[in-house]
Chains A and B, each alone.
Chain A
Amino acid sequence: MEELIWKYIDNTCTDEERESVVNLLNTDAEFRKSYELIVDLEDQLLSVAKITMRPDFKTQLVQKVAIELREQKVSIKTNILPIKWIIGLSFVAVAIIIYAVTIIKSAEPSITFMPSMDEKVISMIGMVTSGFIMLTLLDAILKKVQQIKRITGLLA
């Protein structure tokens, strides 16, 4: 009986159900009493559905959020490995190595049993590049770990 009343109130009942509610309201005093109680309850529930924030709390919240975001920006900047620096230093390192190798090559006579300077340069560039890739990966992993920590901390 109660389920039927709620369906009627929510407007989710079928035409037959609606008809039967109307009939019961006209004939059954007990049903009518339950119906009135539920309508009253529904009215009260609707009246407290949305609780509005106090205006001064809202203002205070906006300010706190702005401050938090400012601080967050700073902490993101300082917590994460400085990628820009890594890229910049890698380029500088590569340039220095190439320059040094060119000087050594021009100063020394070629030694047949040693690997050629080009090979040395290539291997050095390779090492620096792989170092750079590893640092970038490390940076990405650290970022991910920070994120996971934040989420698990939140959901714990």
Chain B
Amino acid sequence: MYMQDLIIDNTWIRLLLKGDRKTIHTFIESYGQFMYNVCYKILLNTSEAEEASQDAIMKALKAIESYDIRSSFKAWCYTIAYRTAIDYRRKIKYTSDISTSIDIAHPSKADDEVNSNETKQNILSLLSHLDEEARTIVSLFYLEEKNIKELMEITGLSESNIKIKLFRARKELSLHANKYFEKI
């Protein structure tokens, strides 16, 4: 089920809190998956993303009663996932050379849709040249199928701000792209 098909209202939250199996499944399929993606794009490692996203999901469930029904549930989930991943990264004292910890051991487990593990490895290494914010903006842009409005809602940034950050990030990526694509 896609997130846009889900209506997050009090009934849905009540069902989730009651432990309704179907609601839990849809929550994990849509928002859990989204939170996992946010964590993964920050940590660039399957097992770390799994740990961080699990932690973020539990935090979201514990705080779900404080969620304001009028605001975007996706944005709320994004904030929790983003902060949890950043905290997690800080906690495990991520090395400055992020490329050494990029998950290359089990890439096929994490993503069946990516044709080449090498391609994935290269693009993730390339993404590691960006700072966390830029990486998140670029990742969300593609994750949300280039929907700037959705991005504005999730990040709380203005359209022009997103466009500027996105352009800078892409520019940075294209500067490094040559050496990575030569390997492909």
Contact = CB atoms under 8 A, between A and B. Distances in A.
Instruction: Give the dominant DSSP class at A's interface.
Output: helix
Contacts of A62: 24-25, 28
Interface stretch (B1-9, B88-96, B116-124, B150-158): B116-124
A37 B113 contact: no
Nearest to B146: A10
A85 interface: no
Contacts of A49: 139, 142-143
A47 B114 contact: yes
A52 B62 contact: no
A20 B114 CA distance: 34
A45 B174 contact: no
Chain A interface extent, by class: 35 or more
Given A41-B177, A48-B114, A52-B110, A58 B32 contact: yes
Interface in A96-135: none
B52 interface: no
B37 A61 contact: no
Q: How large is the interface on B (under 10, 10 to 19, 20 to 34, 35 or more residues)?
A: 35 or more
Contacts, number: 128
B120 A47 contact: yes
Interface in A27-76: 34, 37-38, 40-41, 44-54, 57-58, 61-62, 64-66, 68-70, 72-73
Given A51-B40, A57-B50, 12 more contacts: A3-B167, A6-B167, A44-B181, A48-B123, A49-B142, A51-B49, A52-B111, A53-B32, A65-B24, A72-B62, A147-B63, A154-B63
Interface of B: 16-19, 21, 24-25, 27-29, 32-33, 36-37, 40-41, 46, 49-50, 54, 57-59, 61-63, 65-66, 80, 83, 109-115, 119-120, 122-124, 126-127, 138-139, 142-143, 146, 167, 170-171, 173-174, 177-178, 181
